[in-house]
Amino acid sequence: MTSSLSTLCLHCGMCCDGTLFTQVPLQPAEAQALRQKGLSLLVKEDGAVALPQRCAALEGLCCTVYEERPDACRRYRCQLFNALAEGEVSLEEAKGVVDTAHAKVDAVGSAESGRGSAMRQARVAAASLTLPPETREALAHAEVYLDKHFRGRFRRSGG
């Protein structure tokens, strides 16, 4: 990863902190390696294993298992990352998009365990129709912005 790309990701963290995704699919060998590092994994009904998000390997905005991160993490590039890699936006512009996204997510609510947890709580409350209207609106604005600039049509499988 070139330095401006890593600078962007170290400014963002949203594909690891639960803001964009709820889990990362794992191959069996990856699951075994992460278990050995003491990470708790999610075993689904069909036996598939996933790494829940916010990722327990994330410290601040930094991946603590970067050299051994799962293949799905290795391959994932959000739309903004691709735009920076292609020179369609400058690093400053891309960091500005991240700052706006963080602000929109923070408008949804705060949680002790961070942005991803606040988004998860809001999504669960929205699904069960217990979210206050103003928070529902903030959640909708955040999701639209995340879709437009980050998730786009590329989604890391496992949602």
Q: Residues 26, 50, 55, 138: which binds ligand SF4 (CB under 6 A)? A: 55
Distance of alpha carbon 25 from alpha carbon 60, whole angstroms: 22
Distance of alpha carbon 102 from alpha carbon 113, whole angstroms: 15
Cβ-count burial 16-45 (b if 16+ within 10 Å, e if not): bbbbbbbbbbbeeebbeebeeeebebbeee
13 binds ligand SF4 (CB under 6 A): yes
Query: Interacting stretch for ligand SF4, rule CB under 6 A, among 4-12, 104-112, 113-121, 130-138?
Result: 4-12
> Which C-beta is closer to ligand SF4: that of 73 or that of 105?
73
Distance of alpha carbon 122 from alpha carbon 25, whole angstroms: 23
Q: Residues 69, 95, 115, 149: which binds ligand SF4 (CB under 6 A)? A: 69
8 binds ligand SF4 (CB under 6 A): yes
Site for ligand SF4 in 78-137 (CB under 6 A): 78, 80-81
14 binds ligand SF4 (CB under 6 A): yes
